[in-house]
Amino acid sequence: MSKLGLIPRLIIAIILGTLIGLYFPEWVGNLLFTVSSIFGELLFYIVPLIILAFIIPGIAELAESPGKMLGATAGVAYLSTIIAGTIAFFVAMMIIPAIAPEIVEVEEDAGLSQFIEIEIAPMMEIMTALVTAFIFGVGVNYLKNIRGNKTLYNFMMEFREVVRLVIQKIIIPLLPLYIAGIFADMAAEGTVFRTIGLFAPLFALVIGLQILYLILHFTVANRLRPENPIFGSLKQMIPAYTTALGTVSSAATLPVTLRSAKKLKVPDNIVDLVVPLGATIHLAGSTIAITISAVTVYLLHLGTPEFTSFFPFILMLGIVMIGAPGVPGGAVMAALGLLSTMLGFGETEQALMIAIYMGQDPFGTACNVTGDGANSIIVSSIAKRVEGNKGKNSETEEEA
C-alpha cells in the first residue's frame, strides 16, 4: 500500500479522475470506468457480508459486559446516535439547499461507457442480511452466555476478522481507483465541478456540528452530574479525540479513551463498562457525517429529501454500524446497503458518499470516542439514582 494516507490518495484520485474525464482520449476514460465498475460490483457484493460480520458478533458481545447497567449503557449510546442523526438532518436541510446547485439533468448517452460488464450478484438482499444478522446475533448470544457454547461465537469472530481483512487489504486500498472512475464519468457528464465545489463547506458543516454536538452532549451530562464541568470534562477527553484523528478507529483508540474517561469524576467500574461498549455502538459523530453527506448527495441527484424517509434510515444506521468503528471507513461501508434500499442511492450516489465520508472519517471517529466520556457521566448518574432507589426501598422494608 502507498505510504500516502487514504485521504491524500482519495484527493489525488478525484483530481486524476476529473482530468481523465475532461481531457484524455475517451478510451482511457472508458477503461478506467470499466475497472471502477467491476470493483463496484465487488463492493456491493460484500455489503451483506459486512452487515453479517459486524452485527452478529456485535450483538453476541453485548452480554460480555457485566453489570446491571448494560441495558442503560446501550440505550444511552443508541439514543445519542439517533439524536445526533436527527439534528444533523434538520441542520443540513437548513444550510445545504442554500449552497447546493440545482439538479442538472444528464442525457442518457452522456458520460463514459464500459468495455465489458461483469455482474457479481450479492449472496442476499440487504434486508435479508439484516434480519439474518439479528436472528443469529441473538442466537449466538444465547448459546454463548446461557449454554456456555462458544463454537458459533468463535466462528463469527473469525468471520468478522476475514471481512475486516478484505476491507483493509482490498476494499480500502482500491477505493481511490473506484472514486477516480466515478469522477471521470461525472466529468464526462459535465456534473463534476458542482459536486467538488460543495466539499469544503460540507466538511466545515460536519466538523462544526460534531463539535457543537459534543458541547451539547457534555452539557446534558453536566446537568445530571454537576461535579463534571462541561469544558473541564471535554478537556480531559482531548487525548482521546486527537488519538482518534490519527487512528481513525474507535477500537484502536480504546486504551486512550479509557485513560481519559477515568480522569472524569465517574466510578472506574462505570467507565470500564461504558467505554468499551461505546467503542462498538456509540456512533454519534459518524451518524452526523453520514446523514449530512446523504442529504447533500440526495439534493444533488434525487431532489428534496423528506424527514419521513430519512428518520427510519437514521434509526437503522445506528444498528447496522455496530462493530464498524473497528475499521477505518467501516461505518460508510456498512451503510451502503441502507443508502441503496432506503434512500434509493445508485452506484454514483454511493461512490460520492464514500468519497465525502472518507474525508471526514477521522473527525467522526473522534466525536464518537469523545462522546463516550459524556455517556460515562450520564450512565453513572443513572447508576447513582438506581442505587439511591434501592437504598430507599431497603429502608422502607426494614421499617415495615
If one compares 92 and 385, the residue with the highest pLDDT of the two is 92
The lowest-confidence range among 71-75, 231-235, 378-382 is: 71-75
Q: Which distant-in-sequence residues (6+ apart) come within 8 Å of 27 by Cβ?
A: none
Residue 201 inside a domain? The answer is: yes
Grid coordinates of 170: 482490498
If one compares 371 and 39, the residue with the highest pLDDT of the two is 371
User: Which residue, 370, 364, 372, is CA-closest to 277?
Assistant: 372
If one compares 179 and 20, the residue with the highest pLDDT of the two is 20
| Torsional sign, CA 340, 322, 200, 25 | negative
The lowest-confidence range among 34-48, 80-94, 184-198, 257-271 is: 184-198
pLDDT band at residue 273 under the 50/70/90 scheme: confident
> CA 199, CA 48: separation in Å to the nearest integer?
29
pTM, full prediction: 0.78
Residue 1 inside a domain? The answer is: no
The lowest-confidence range among 6-20, 93-107, 203-217 is: 93-107
DSSP line for 245-276: HHH--HHHHHHHHHHHHTTSSS-HHHHHHHHH
User: Which residue, 129, 169, 154, is CA-closest to 44?
Assistant: 129
Residue 395 inside a domain? The answer is: no
Give the pLDDT of residue 108. 47
Could you report the per-residue pLDDT of 310-342, keeping only the tens digit for each? Answer: 999 999 888 887 756 556 677 788 888 888 888
Across 17-42, average pLDDT: 86
Please say if the pLDDT value at position 216 is more than 50: yes
Domain of 154? 6-389
Give the pLDDT of residue 79. 92
> CA 209, CA 215: separation in Å to the nearest integer?
10
If one compares 185 and 368, the residue with the highest pLDDT of the two is 368
Give the pLDDT of residue 88. 95
pLDDT band at residue 268 under the 50/70/90 scheme: confident
Please say if the pLDDT value at position 106 is more than 50: no
Give the pLDDT of residue 210. 95
261, 373 Cβ separation under 8 angstroms: yes
Q: Which distant-in-sequence residues (6+ apart) come within 8 Å of 228 by Cβ?
A: 218, 221, 222, 264, 265, 266, 377
Residue 43 inside a domain? The answer is: yes
Residue 398 inside a domain? The answer is: no
CATH number at residue 18: 1.10.3860
The lowest-confidence range among 92-106, 151-165, 325-339, 355-369 is: 92-106
User: Which residue, 342, 323, 343, is CA-closest to 334?
Assistant: 323
Residue 397 inside a domain? The answer is: no
User: Which residue, 181, 192, 176, 185, is CA-closest to 38?
Assistant: 181
> CA 221, CA 229: separation in Å to the nearest integer?
9
Give the pLDDT of residue 212. 96
Could you report the per-residue pLDDT of 141-177, keeping only the tens digit for each? Answer: 888 877 788 888 899 889 988 888 887 788 878 878 8
Give the pLDDT of residue 374. 92
Taking the alpha carbons at both ends of the chain, their separation in whole angstroms is: 72
User: Which residue, 144, 159, 141, 173, is CA-closest to 54?
Assistant: 159
> CA 295, CA 282: separation in Å to the nearest integer?
21
> CA 324, CA 281: separation in Å to the nearest integer?
9
Across 269-297, average pLDDT: 86
Please say if the pLDDT value at position 53 is more than 50: yes
The lowest-confidence range among 1-10, 160-169, 272-281, 288-297 is: 1-10
Q: Residue type for 180, please?
A: A
Residue 241 inside a domain? The answer is: yes
Please say if the pLDDT value at position 389 is more than 60: no
pLDDT band at residue 21 under the 50/70/90 scheme: confident
176, 10 Cβ separation under 8 angstroms: yes
Domain count across the chain: 1
If one compares 224 and 127, the residue with the highest pLDDT of the two is 224
pLDDT band at residue 214 under the 50/70/90 scheme: very high
